[in-house]
Each structure stands twice: as structure tokens, then as C-alpha cells.
Amino acid sequence: MATILDMRGIRKRFGPVQALGGVDFSLERGEIHALLGINGAGKSTLIKILSGVYTKDEGAIEIDGQAVELGSPRAAIEAGIATVQQHPELVPDCTGVENIFLGHEGHAPGLFRRMNRRAMRQSAQTLLERFPIEIDLDASVGEMPAVDREIVAILHALRHDHIKVLILDEPTSTLTEREKASLFQLMRTLQAAGIAIIYITHRLEEVFEIADRFTVFRGGRNVATFTSREARERNISIPELMLDEAAGDLYPICDGIGNGDVILSAEGLGCGAAFSGVDLELRRGEILGVFGLVGSGVDELSKVLFGALRPDAGELKVKGRTRRFRGPHDALEAGIFLVPGDRRTEGLTMTKDVTFNTTVAHLGRASWLGGLLKLSGNRRDTEKLARDVGLQPFELDRPVSAFSGGNQQKIVIAKGLYRNADIYIFAEPTIGVDIGARAKLYALMRDLSRRAGVIVMSSDCDEVHGLADRVLALYKGRPVHLGGGHPGGVRPSRDQLLSAGIMGARA
């Protein structure tokens, strides 16, 4: 294959921090190339240089053998490079067609310069003929499933005919296995059309499923590049390349079923069409895992337990007392804290700094009797919690929008630790978090479970099975019996749990 992108000796420094130290990276035409590394390894900086967001300090970039300077996002687009961010900025109330051509509506002639909807629709049809994929572009984006929103963002990036390099940043982080298959189908279609794809992911199992090659970044340098076949044949450990050490066990050892008192229980819990008939029991000193794919009711269950949604059936007890939460405030007062799955819209105030976000969930602790904030005390508390969760970079005055997705998740968890709750609910706790940070967060959850009750709700079967002392599976809103004599059942095999969550198979 011919080289479409060649980067040599790329350096970038931010003050005293050397983000990239002489990086070489190449991409072949029609290649899917995975870019891997823990948070802070340098891959995001490289991508932002390619996208025209940052300018390189040193080095050379060639596209199709021609030297280019990518001083702005417009310059990157003109050079044939398009980027789809982890959280695409789409307009929910507009249709797929309207989002694809946002900013390029092809105004029809006339006094009021109306949008040329016919031309937009024809251009969208041309795109679908070029890249066949099953999607209803007349539906509003806000009503689309996650995979269709991702496809709309990709088509928006490819509306320019001359795009040669497509960068996909964590595109599968919120997708089900079925939705991921649809996205991979589109990626292979793009590959067959000669478009090269740089694929950023923390889901290492996907590398061997979709990538032709992968490159590992560590400490601002690319430390290894292998074809997927070569890595498989040589039994290369990607985690060890990323961490520069033996990865060891990702999950801490389970201590066994908690022997403490039951601090949370539910019987026959239901919430509309989302889920029904859920029984569960959480004891102090254990981790209870709930596995279910997107749309299984897991997200709604987490919100019912936190008072953000009201159940229409069943009974919920906290420390033996029946509770009917009017909202999250009641749940917080009862000692429950939710680390939500959507950190950007439900967990953080993106424009505020780390200290604000860490302490905002417990203003009674963060302020004096008269309402004035304990500025120095809050700073000290935040510094300790930021160290506990391994925040990088350690800059508490930064707005959280300036941190990577994995570090944003660490800030949400620090916020929960500041609350000092009795019951912690972690919904999709490691979306966008690299393997090194995940191991640290898993150990933190296990330590937390020794004094509190912890519920982990995730669409990642391995995560639930690896962490939990007992498990519950939801399939299309219904709990699946996994054996055992009490709610939550026992700890089944990984395959039993997977079958229960994706097919509703009973153990």
C-alpha cells in the first residue's frame, strides 16, 4: 500500500512539559491504524496537530508525498484530514441530513437565502451510494440510537469529496456489540474506498478485530508499531507496551460476599417500559455487579436508585427503611451517591475547575455556616482526592473541559469520594479510561467497598465479572436468573453472565 500520511520528528512542548518528543508516524492508504496509549501518553496531542488544533514545534508532515502545514482545522480539512471527536457536536433537533451539511447548506437563490433542502438530500443520497450503510437520515438526531449519531458525524466529516484520512476518537465507547458491528461495517466500507482511518480506542480487544496495524504511545513517544497478525503470532502484550511493565491482574481480588448488614434492597422494582421485576440486595463490604447492554434498563435502574427517576412499582429500602425519593437530594441525604455514565452532561460542570466540581455535591461540608466557601480547606481536600484517583495533569485550577475523558471520569469519582457516602453506584465507570487508570480505579472501588456498599453497572461483561462479588443481569428490562438463593444470585462464569445479558439465557 502507498503511504498517505508521513509524520517525522514531531515535537510539541507545553511550557515545561514535553508532550511529544520526536515522534514518527505513518499511515497507508486504505489502512485502519489503531493509536493506543494511556492518558497523557501523547496520542491526543498528535491527533490535535493533525487536526490543526495545535501547531507542531518541530518536524515534518507529508500528505501523498507533499509537505503540508496544518495551522488550523480549515487547513487540515483542505489537506484531506477529517476528525470525528469522541463526543460529536450534533444538533439534536435537526435531521441527519441537516447535521451532515451543517454550515454547508447550499443556500437557494433568493432574497432570504433559504436552505436548499433538495440539494442537501441529493448530496446525502450520493454519500450513501458511495458509502452504503443502512440509516434513516430524515430522523432527528436526538431520536437516533448512538451508532446512527456516530454515522452522521462520520458522514459530516466525509461530505468533502477529497478526504483521505479520517480520525475516529473512541467511537465505540457508548455502543452495544450490535451497534459496534454496524460501525465496523462502515469503517471497512471506507477502507475499501481508499480512505485511511486512525482509530483511537481504550478497548484493546477491538484492535485485533478491526485494525490492520497499531502504534503504542508512551511518554510522548511511539514505542512500538505492529501489524495485528504479527502481534497475535508473537503473543505481544499491548498493556505491557502501554505501561512498560507486566500488566498483572487488572481486577483486584474479590474478598467474597459481604458479611455486613444489608444497606440497600429492592423488591419488584419497576420503571415504565425501561425495566420491571428487579430484586436486588446490597451488603456493606461487597461489590454488586449489574450487567446489561445499552437499552437493557441498566441506566434507568441507576437513576431510580439515585432518585433521578421515580419507580412505578416495587419497594426500595435503605438501611431497612422504606424510601420514596422525591429527587437526587433525598438519595444524597440517605447516603447514596451516583457516578453517572454520561459524565459530561450528568456528572460535571465542564467550564468550572477541579476544586469546584469535586466539592459541589456536598456544599454543607464545603462551606461555613454563613454560606462562605472554605477555600483553603476545599483545596486541601481536592488535592488529596486528586492524588487518590491519579488525576493527570495535577492542575486543580484547570476547567474540567481541558482534561481527557479518562481524567474527567476520575474527577467525577473524586466528587463521589468527597461526599463520603454509604452506598456508591458506578454507572459505566471506565468509559474512555485507559488500562493503567482502570486498574487504579478498580482498586479504589475495592477499597471503597470495605467500608461501604458498591454497585457497578456496566455494559462491559468483563468489567462486571472481574469486579463483582455477586452479579445481576438485565435483558430487555427484565432480570435474568443466575442462580443462588438471594437477590443478586451468585458469581457465575463469565460466559454465563454474557449469555444472560445479550440473549436472556438463564443459568
Residues 325 and 346 in one domain: no
Residues 120 and 14 in one domain: yes
Query: Residue 274 is part of a domain; what is its CATH number?
Result: 3.40.50.300
d(CA 359, CA 367): 10
Q: Are residues 235 and 253 in the same domain?
A: no
Do 348 and 329 belong to one domain? no
Rg (CA), the chain: 24
Reported as a single tens digit per residue, the pLDDT across 22-74 is: 999 999 999 999 999 876 788 888 999 999 999 999 999 999 999 999 989 99
Burial readout 391-415 (b: 16 or more C-beta within 10 A, e: otherwise): bbeeebeeebeebbbbbbbbbbbbb
Mark whether 22 and 125 lie in a shared domain: yes
Residue 440 domain flag: no
State the residue range of the domain holding 381.
340-420
Q: Pick the residue with more confidence: 292 or 503?
A: 292
Shared domain for 15 and 61, answered yes or no, is: yes
**Average per-residue pLDDT for the chain:** 86
Whether pLDDT at 485 is above 50 = no
> Domain for residue 58, yes or no?
yes
**101 domain residue, yes or no:** yes
pLDDT per residue as tens digits for the range 367-417: 888 788 888 999 999 999 999 888 888 899 999 988 877 788 889 989 988
- Give a yes or no: residue 233 inside a domain: yes
Q: pLDDT tens for residues 433-451?
A: 777 777 888 888 898 888 8
In a domain, 274, yes or no: yes
Grid cell, residue 267, equals 423488591
Q: Are residues 55 and 133 in the same domain?
A: yes
pTM for the full model?
0.67
Query: Per-residue pLDDT for 483 more than 60?
Result: no
Average pLDDT of 213-232? 91
471 in a structural domain: yes
How much of the chain, in percent, has pLDDT values that exceed 70? 91
Specify if 204 maps to a domain.
Answer: yes
User: What pLDDT band is residue 422 in, cutting at 50, 70 and 90?
Assistant: very high
Tally of structural domains, the chain: 3
For residue 128, which amino acid is it? Answer: L
Please indicate, yes or no, whether residues 389 and 502 belong to a single structural domain of this protein. Answer: no
**Distances from the Cα of 29 to the Cα of 23, 85, 121, 132, 228, angstroms:** 20, 21, 29, 20, 17
pLDDT at 484: 46
Whether residue 275 is found in the same domain as residue 151: no
Of the pLDDT bands very low, low, confident and very high (cuts 50, 70, 90), residue 106 is low
Quick one: pLDDT band at residue 454, thresholds 50, 70, 90?
A: very high
Which residues have a Cβ under 8 Å from the Cβ of 276 and sit 6 or more positions away?
Answer: 269, 270, 313, 477, 478
Same domain? 183 vs 197 = yes
Residues 229 and 113 both lie in one domain: yes
Give the pLDDT score at 397.
Answer: 92
Residue 258: what pLDDT? 59
Q: At which of 420, 446, 469 does a domain end? A: 420
Look at 150 and 115; give whichever has higher pLDDT. 150
> How confident is the model at residue 127, as a pLDDT?
87
- H helix runs in 328-425, sequence order: 328-333, 354-359, 363-366, 375-389, 405-419
**Is the pLDDT reported for residue 489 higher than 70?**
no
Residue 436 lies in a domain: no
Q: What is the DSSP letter of 261?
A: -
Domain boundary among 243, 274, 306: 243
Same-domain check for residues 46 and 148: yes
Q: Are strands 66-67 and 58-63 parallel, antiparallel or unpaired?
A: antiparallel
Residue 25: partners with Cβ closer than 8 Å, 6 or more residues away: 5, 7, 10, 46, 215, 222
Q: Which of 226, 243, 260 is the last residue of a domain?
A: 243
Beta strands in 15-131 (DSSP E): 17-28, 32-36, 58-63, 66-67, 81-84
